Amino acid sequence: NASPSVVHITTMKVVRRRDPRLEPLEIPEGTGSGFIWDTSGHVVTNYHVIRNAHQARVTLADNTSWQARLVGYEADKDLAVLKIEAPPDQLHALPIGTSDDLQIGQKVFAIGNPFGLDQTLTTGVISALKLRLPTSNGREISNVIQTDAAINPGNSGGPLLDSAGRLIGVNTAIYSPSGSNAGIGFAIPVDAVNRVVPELIRAGRVPTPGIGIVSADEPVASRLGVEGVIVVRTVPNTPADRAGLRGIDRKSGALGDVIIAANGNPVRRLADLTEQLEQKGVGQAIELTVKRDAGTTTVSLVIADIGRMP
C-alpha cells in the first residue's frame, strides 16, 4: 500500500564548458528518494538530495516522470518540498503517524531507491531514540530515530514506516566507514516533519524561533566549567533585550547571564534551548531560568521569528 507513495528523485546541475562559445552542459548530479505528501503534488525529500541542483525530476511508482519545482526547504532539519503537476489520481499520499510514542525494538520498514534500485524494501527495528544529528550548517536535528533497517546511498529522503504503513520518519543518513549500510541508519522524526512541511507549503520557509541572543561556543563554556548557555550579548530590540538579559561585561570580561533551564527543562547547551524554543513556537511565551551573579532568576519572554529580524 505504501509503495505507490514513494518516488525516485533525479537531480541535474549545469556545468560550463571550456569553450565559452558553447552552451553550458546539463549533467546528472545525483539521485535520492522522496514520498508524496498530498494529492496537490507536493513531494517531501531531504534537503541534501536537492541542494545545489539546477533542476529535479520526480519519477512515480508507475514510471511516469515529472519536472519538479522547489517549494521550499529547511536546511536545519534537512527537509525540502518539491511540487509536480501530476494528476491527483496518480498521487498516493502516505498516511502520517507519530514519533513521540515510538519504542526501541519496534519493527520498522524503509522504502527507497538505494543505488538507483527502485522501490526497494528493507526491514529492521528501532535501535535508539532521541539522538542528535549534526547538519551541514552546524546545527542539530533533535529526537532522531536510529534504525538497523538497511539504508544506503539513494535511500535519502525516503519514508520510514511503522508496521501499519504510517510515516514515522524520513531516512536521512547512515553511519558507515565504507559508505554502505552498516546497520546504523538515521531518520528525521515525523513530528518534526509535520511541523516543517506545512510551513514550507504555506510560505516557502519555516519560522526560526529565537529570543535574540549571541551565545558562547560550547568549548568556551566547557573551559570555563559552565553548564548552560552563556549569553555573550543580546541583539537590540529583541525579546532577550527587552526582557533585560545580560551579556558578558565588555570592560571586565565578567560573565553575565547563563541560561540553565527553559520551561523547567534543563538547558546544558544551545541545542537544548533551541529544542525548547521549537517545541513552543513563534509567538508563544517561554520561561527561562538564568544564573545571574551568585543566584538564579526567572525571565519570561515571547519567542520571535529571528529569521525575519534585520
**Cα–Cα distance, 275 to 206 (Å, whole number):** 15
Catalytic, out of 8, 42, 76, 78: 78
**What is the rounded distance in angstroms from the CA atom of residue 63 to the CA atom of residue 86?**
12
78 is catalytic: yes
> Do residues 151 and 168 make contact, with C-beta atoms less than 8 angstroms apart?
no
- Is the CA virtual torsion 210, 75, 215, 306 positive or negative? negative
Q: Which residue out of 99, 127, 142, 156 is catalytically annotated?
A: 156
**Burial group, residue 207, by CB count within 10 angstroms (0-12, 13-18, 19+):** middle
Cell numbers placing 95:
498516511
> Is 156 a known active-site residue?
yes
Q: Are 190 and 168 in contact (CB under 8 A)?
A: yes
Q: How many helices (H) and strands (E) does the chain have?
A: 5, 20
What is the rounded distance in angstroms from the CA atom of residue 298 to the CA atom of residue 64? 58
- What is the rounded distance in angstroms from the CA atom of residue 190 to the CA atom of residue 107? 16
Q: Which residue in the list 5, 8, 33, 48 is annotated as catalytic?
A: 48
Q: Among this protein's residues, is 92 annotated catalytic?
A: no
Tell me the catalytic residues: 48, 78, 156
